[in-house]
Amino acid sequence: MSKDAYTLTNADGSSSMELPVHKGTVGPDVLDIGSLYREQGVFTYDPGFVATGSCSSAITYIDGVKGVLMYRGYPVEQLAAHSNFLEVAFLLLYGELPTASQLEDFNESINRHTMLNEGMLRFFNGFRYDAHPMAMLSAVVGSMSAYYHDTMDINNPEARKVFAHRILAKLPTIAAAALKLNAGQPFIYPRNDLSYTENLLHMFFAVPAEPYEINKIAAQALDLLFILHADHEQNCSTSTVRMAGSSGANPYSAIAAGISALWGPAHGGANEAVLRMLEQIGEAKNIPRFVDKAKDRDDPFRLMGFGHRVYKNFDPRATIIREMCHKVLKQMGRTNSPLFDLALELEQVALKDEYFIEKNLYPNVDFYSGIIYRALGIPTSMFTVMFAIGRTVGWVAHWKEMITDPGGKISRPRQLYTGPPQRDYVPVDQRS
Ligand code: SDX
């Protein structure tokens, strides 16, 4: 067998074929099954795509055993320690860390795209006061294709660039408009003299009645959280963006599809679900009962913020965020945080439990992030919106990589059919 191929032979040995192997920079090789159906008349079968590579990508690498996460080759720990979110966004979009002048131009471009078309703002007059912010976010982002017609040509590099900068810049503004609707407060326009996260805090929490002083610690904490959420390989929402974009749909619609996928509690919706779970647990004496519920196969309850498709030990982001929790709570003068104490206790109980050890269930990125958002005064219903703000640059980077792939084609998986064999139509008066 060639070292660069696997030989596939059927059960009775009557037929075999070579499956070429492709090697990446690092990580598992992949078997190319592109000719399998044509030559053998069979499909592969991998519900949930547990062991299926959907594409080749140069953006992010994860090693689930070693707990490694790299953006364009840079370990996330180094970026978290030395970089900032817009510099990481440039890296993800363009593949290299920016020079000082490139970063200045990028910051300037993002700053100048933060305002929304006034017609889009009027959408918020139509939502119920208690509409979920993720419902508003996916709706308004999808509506951008009804406004920004100059960036709908996916084959135009300049249009793709303006789209990328525009959506990165406008997500916080749309998020702020949703928060203000829920709060019953007037919308606060963005300010170009503020940094990305300072602007977000200002739009979230400023009110016309009095001056608002930006908390620099909060701005730094959000910047770090956005770095940690920026990308994560072929996760559910990123794969959704790639799938939607592969049909040639406009990029705003592809991102809106990603936002909808992220909302699920098995994915980005988990950060909101963690806080609601901690509030449901209430106090440490109730932890064993909830851990038992999570272990009960007949009970749909799962320990939110635990487990991961790829990480089979600590999620490196959870480790950084847990350490951040201590620092942010202390700097915010919130050293007494029953929720954080409860989360730490729950983590200890779960990590010592045979079930969680056997199934390699560890805290993931969503387990601690909500505690920081809560400490910053961000409403629980906004937590997944915060995830979406960080992840948008990853979605855009993957959309761009997919749409500029010369070998790209529409994503269209096959299936194993388990429905009825062919049968003839029966007129309604002859049906029993
Ligand atoms: C994110 O993919 C990404 O990269 C996602 C993400 C990103 O940055 O984009 O990292 C962000 O989505 C993080 C995950 C947030 N979701 C949660 O915290 C929700 C709780 N977690 C589970 O729903 C689950 O762990 C998943 C969805 C995260 C992973 O599911 P998998 O890989 O499909 O694993 P599985 O459901 O097959 O679970 C394997 C076993 C099962 O038991 P058995 O059927 O083998 O008996 O572990 C059990 C599960 O029942 N299990 C859990 C559990 N997670 C898995 N049991 C209790 N509590 C849990 N949290």
Write the pLDDT tens digit of every residue in 84-115.
999 999 999 999 999 999 999 999 999 999 99
Residue nearest to atom 28 of ligand 1 (CA): 308
Q: Is residue 394 lining ligand 1, measured as CB closer than 6 Å? A: no
In this prediction, residue 410 carries a pLDDT of 97
**pTM confidence score:** 0.96
Annotated catalytic residue, options 223, 231, 315, 366: 366
432 Cβ contact list (under 8 Å, min separation 6): none
Give Cα separations from 343 to 256, 265, 359 (angstroms).
Answer: 32, 18, 20
Residue 124 has pLDDT above 50, yes or no: yes
In this prediction, residue 71 carries a pLDDT of 98
Residue 13 has pLDDT above 80, yes or no: yes
Per-residue pLDDT tens over the stretch 243-289: 999 999 999 999 999 999 999 999 999 999 999 999 999 999 999 99
Q: What's the whole-number mean pLDDT along residues 119-134?
A: 97
Annotated catalytic residue, options 308, 315, 353, 398: 308
Per-residue pLDDT tens over the stretch 320-345: 999 998 889 998 887 788 999 999 99
Instruction: Please report how the helices 365-375 and 316-331 are oriented relative to each other, as an axis angle in degrees rounded to 10.
Output: 20
Q: Indicate the pLDDT class of residue 1, thresholds 50, 70 and 90.
A: very low
Q: What's the whole-number mean pLDDT along residues 171-189?
A: 98
Give Cα separations from 278 to 225, 272, 404 (angstroms).
Answer: 20, 10, 44
Q: What's the whole-number mean pLDDT along residues 29-50?
A: 96
Instruction: Tell me if residue 366 is catalytic.
Output: yes
Grouping H, G, I as helix, E, B as strand and the rest as coil, residue 290 is helix
Give Cα separations from 63 to 26, 74, 309, 313, 315 (angstroms).
Answer: 9, 13, 11, 10, 10
Q: Is residue 266 lining ligand 1, measured as CB closer than 6 Å? A: yes
Q: Could you tell me the distance, in angstroms and rounded to a whole number, from the CA of residue 18 to the centre of ligand 1?
A: 34
Please state the atom number of ligand 1 nearest to the C-alpha of residue 62.
4
Q: What's the whole-number mean pLDDT along residues 155-169?
A: 97
Instruction: Tell me if residue 113 is catalytic.
Output: no
Residue 388 has pLDDT above 70, yes or no: yes
In this prediction, residue 3 carries a pLDDT of 62
Q: What's the whole-number mean pLDDT along residues 143-159?
A: 94
